[in-house]
Structure 1
């Protein structure tokens, strides 16, 4: 079977919410494949270009002529504020 390690660079939010399900899916499909996650502090294309990482997951913005991008999913954010906070009024 396939026995490789793939390095994925992703934001903390991705890692917190989706790394577990991704690892579980890969483990079921290819038990000898390992995923290594690396932090994504910026949108620099250098790690991809130099082969330091295999895949980058994040917002559009990393660009270089040799990099291909593919849409994966939409993200939805929710804000929470206390009742009466100025942000919740028309003047806020």
Structure 2
């Protein structure tokens, strides 16, 4: 079954394939950002000082990347697709 896309853009240069690849990558980044905010508190600014918030965001991003590596190297089958909050509920909160 063919996949049909409709993309409205003002990007004048580039072929249709490159436009679709760009928007698919953008969607993947938005999913990553949502996971970072929801699963690792990446959107929380709990300090008054920028440097402290920057360090906290860095730790959240690092934790997210470590979990992603863990998913792809250690977890098996359907567990490779679960998010961190699901992993916590399933394995850590017993």
Normalising by structure 2, we get a TM-score of: 0.22
- Of structures 1 and 2, the one scoring higher in RCO (CA 8 A, sep 6+) is 1
More helix by share: 2
Q: TM-score, normalised by structure 1?
A: 0.22
